[in-house]
């Protein structure tokens, strides 16, 4: 039951909530022991804050929930590959696993040759088409 797709669907629901607010539709959840302990979507426009990416909010929220700043034994599901800022934050958090929907060749951390914490496992391509389609449709509507 608790497959990668199961949790990525929840992250996609967060992306859809972002879309309703006219935000770049990216969402994520953080899972610990098969339980969602944080969920967030991009709020950079609403909050007028470039740091308000989904992942940044979820990291803060999960740490609050756990009562400690390290996210060991946690998995992040995020609809789009984290940017430099978010990959840096995830590195500091020592999160165990990062599961990515769609790649972001331009802004994502992978093509910048950045690595996360040595303990962090990275998985890409879960529900890639759905995660990519919502962002592409958003930017197309803005042109």
- Smallest separation, CB 129 to a second copy (Å): 27
How big is the CA angle at 142 (ends 136 and 143), to the nearest 5 degrees? 95
- Smallest separation, CB 58 to a second copy (Å): 10
74's torsion region: left (phi>0), alpha (psi -120 to 50) or beta? beta
| CB-based contact 22:140 (threshold 8 Å) | no
Residue 21 as a binder of a second copy (CB under 8 A): the answer is no
**Listed ranges 1-9, 25-33, 50-58, 134-142: which one lies at the site for a second copy (CB under 8 A):** 50-58
Q: Give contact residues for a second copy (rule: CB under 8 A).
A: 44-45, 48-51, 56, 59-60, 63-64, 67-70, 83-89, 91-93, 112-114
């Amino acid at each position: 039951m608790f497959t990668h797709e199961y949790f990525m669907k929840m992250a996609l629901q967060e992306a859809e909530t972002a879309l309703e607010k006219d935000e770049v539709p990216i969402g994520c959840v953080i899972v610990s022991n098969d339980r969602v302990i944080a969920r967030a979507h991009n709020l950079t426009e609403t909050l007028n804050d470039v740091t308000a990416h989904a992942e940044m909010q979820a990291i803060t929220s999960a740490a609050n929930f756990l009562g400690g700043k390290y996210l060991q034994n946690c998995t992040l599901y995020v609809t789009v590959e984290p940017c430099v800022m978010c990959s840096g934050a995830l590195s500091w958090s020592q999160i165990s696993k990062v599961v990515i929907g769609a790649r972001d060749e331009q802004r994502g951390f992978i093509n910048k040759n950045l690595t996360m914490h040595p303990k962090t496992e990275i998985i890409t391509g879960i529900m890639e088409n759905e995660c990519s389609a919502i962002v592409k449709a958003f930017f197309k509507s803005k042109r």
